[in-house]
Chains A and B, each alone.
Chain A
Amino acid sequence: MALKTSKEYLESVKKLAPRVYCGGKWVKGLLNNKITRSMVMANAAIYDLAEDPKYKDIMVATSHLTGEPINRNLNVARNIHDLDMRQEMALLTSQTVGTCNYRCVGCDALNSLASTTWEMDRDLKTKYNERFNKWLAFAQANDLAVSGAITDAKGDRKKRPSQQDEPDTFIHLVEKRDDGIVVRGIKVSQSGAIGSHETLVLPGGALREGEEAFALSFAVQNGAPGLTYICQYNAYSAEREACEEEAEIGNPVFGQRETSTMVFDNVFIPWERVFLFGETKYCGRLVSRFAKAHRMNCGGACKVGFADLIIGGTVLAAEYTGVDKVPHIQEKIIDMVRLSETSHACAIAAAMRGREEPKGSGVFLPDDLFGNAAKLNIAHGFWEIMKNAGDIGGGLVVTMPRLKDLEDPEVGPMLKKAFAAAAPADKRLKVAKFLQHWTSGLHGTGTWHGAGAPQTQRFMISVLTDFDAKKKMAKKLMGMKEE
């Protein structure tokens, strides 16, 4: 089996029993809990897309290891076309589920591992790439949902990992055994591991000599004993738990982005799943290659898919209110499109200017400058897009009554009278609720920090930009002599 159907994925989830804590209780059955189910249903929808002939080019790739068709979420990009389809997948999945493709971080992590393990084997004569490819072939053959965990809890930011009072703020080695390693520590803001089969764990950043115990990368089975997931919990979580019908929620089936804090309490990882062990020198490039891929996909495509949904909702809101022909409304909507498409253009450029890295590895990674520009642009642009959606959607976006109250025999008629405009009240309220989900929820800060906070993109852009060349060309045009 190279491609799982959504039904097969859901069947496999019924057997998955990771130790998940959500909103004050332990989850017994991911599909029985309203919050965890939304995450699982989003993953199922991603499996569905790969079954749809219309999206085959985007969602299905050919394994370079076996020649078999595989889900693109498990593909290592081998050329420009792969990179382009990868970013198109990020766009399509976001447009489809309006939340994370929870296999996205895993996909970018495995591309970084394919590149970096190859490089380590070349330089150090290790066998990491061979080991990684065996794991990848296994994941591809079983079409596993693989998520990624990157961000450590980090503790006191002034201190290095080994200086922390609490060593568990970073994933670290506890024991080296003949058959594997035992690790402990905490990863935070992890998207979708709860409903995935495996998670790829990468170091959270560059490490120095002496920090070997923290230089670890591995794949962990999500049901491994010792691993606990503590889910995020917020007003939208409470709303989902409290609602009588999911239709009342802004994104009814797939919900908000579901993340968890992953606590590793002496978790065993067999050597076959360990892809970096103590090689501090390679941690920085492993993470930066992940970021390179993820900034193109998360920044320049995923969030553009979200923006498409917000723009769609905003245009509907304008039509339903009867202001869609008003010039300043139209101008604001065009601004929303400009902001999102600029990021998408950067993602396409990042793919088109991608290149093999390192040379000889066969692994293609996007152009770093365009990828960082995509992410930085959308980080700022998304707030503008949300602002315009709130502006055009009106105060109703945050002052609306409960959708279900429209059905109440006493207040329903009052609400229908109050909120009918160029469209009936139920349509206006439905779209207001949709825009509430986007503008008053998690997405602003999520987009800001996802794939790294903007300051990291500014740093990368400053490193990647040849300012001397720009100064030189300016001087030449001015007729200013070189000193």
Chain B
Amino acid sequence: MLGSYRGLGGTFASFTYSCLDKKAIPGFHEKGLIAEAKLTEGGMLLVLSGKRTETELREIMDIAFENIGAFPGIGAEAKYIIDVKSKE
């Protein structure tokens, strides 16, 4: 899925802490949503549990970023790339 978000410096760190240490996606409180999360070179791989369409994944990320203080934005080169996938 493709989508660009802009936030204050440290937003990516907030997001990765949530996913890696808290095992939670901002804005989602149910347990087990994250099947796999790991840092990659220049970003992060995030695999969500269950079978989800690209539209659903995009909706989840929209909510996640809004809750961590990043908003849809284009124009600048991406500093971090988050690869979001559905487990099934």
In the assembly, what is the distance between CA of A160 and CA of B7, in Å? 37
CB contact under 8 A between A17 and B10, given known A223-B68, A224-B18, A268-B21:
no
Q: Contact between A221 and B69 (Cβ–Cβ < 8 Å)?
A: yes
The residue in chain A whose Cβ has the minimal distance to the Cβ of B28 is A17
Complex interface: chain B residues within 8 A of A33 (CB): none
List residues of chain A with CB within 8 A of the CB of B9.
134, 270, 272
In the complex the two chains form, what is the Cα distance from A220 to B14 in whole Å? 10
CB atoms of B62 and A224 under 8 A apart: no
CB pair B18 A268 closer than 8 Å: yes
Q: Is A236's beta carbon under 8 Å from chain B? A: no
Distance between B58 CB and nearest chain A CB, rounded to angstroms: 12
Which A residues are CB-close (under 8 A) to B27? Answer: 15-17, 223
B66 interfacial contact with A, CB 8 Å = yes
Chain B: minimal CB distance from A404 (Å): 36
| Interface size, chain A (Cβ < 8 Å) | 29
The count of chain B contact residues (Cβ–Cβ below 8 Å) is 24
Interface string of B1-25 (1 = CB under 8 A from A): 0000001111101100110011011
Least CB distance, B57 to chain A, in whole angstroms = 15
Roughly how many angstroms separate A316 CA and B17 CA in the complex, as a whole number? 56
Interface residues of B in 47-83 (CB under 8 A from A): 62-63, 66-69, 71
Asked, given contacts A15-B63, A221-B68, whether A273 binds B8 with beta carbons under 8 Å apart, the answer is yes
- Chain A residues with Cβ below 8 Å from B24 are 225
Name the residue on B nearest A1 (C-beta).
B71
Contacts of A272 in B (CB 8 A): 8-10
Contacts of B66 in A (CB 8 A): 12, 15-16, 223
Q: Which residue of B lies closest to A228 (CB)?
A: B29
Contact A16 B10 (CB under 8 A): no
State whether B22 touches A225 (Cβ < 8 A). Answer: yes
Residue from the set A19, A26, A138, A198 with the largest chain B CB neighbour count within 10 Å: A138
Q: What residues on A are CB-neighbors of B11 within 8 Å?
A: 270
Residues of A within 8 A of B62 (CB): 15
Which of B21, B22, B63, B67 contacts A221 (CB under 8 A)? B67
The answer to the question of A52 belonging to the interface, with a C-beta cut-off of 8 Å to chain B, is: no
Q: B75 CB to closest chain A CB, in angstroms? A: 13
Q: At the interface, yes or no: A172 with Cβ under 8 Å from chain B?
A: no
Asked if residues B18 and A16 are in contact (CB atoms below 8 Å), the reply is no
Q: Kindly list the 5 A-B residue pairs having the minimum CB-CB distance in the complex, ordered from nearest.
A: A270-B10, A223-B67, A272-B10, A268-B17, A17-B27
Write 26 A-B pairs (CB below 8 A) sorted by A numbering: A15-B63, A15-B66, A16-B27, A26-B29, A134-B8, A179-B10, A179-B13, A179-B17, A182-B17, A198-B69, A221-B68, A222-B67, A223-B67, A224-B18, A225-B18, A225-B22, A225-B25, A226-B22, A268-B14, A268-B18, A269-B14, A270-B9, A270-B14, A271-B10, A272-B9, A273-B8
Can you name 11 extra interface pairs (CB under 8 A) apart from A138-B7, A198-B69, A270-B11?
Answer: A15-B66, A15-B67, A221-B14, A224-B14, A225-B18, A225-B22, A268-B18, A268-B21, A268-B22, A270-B14, A273-B10
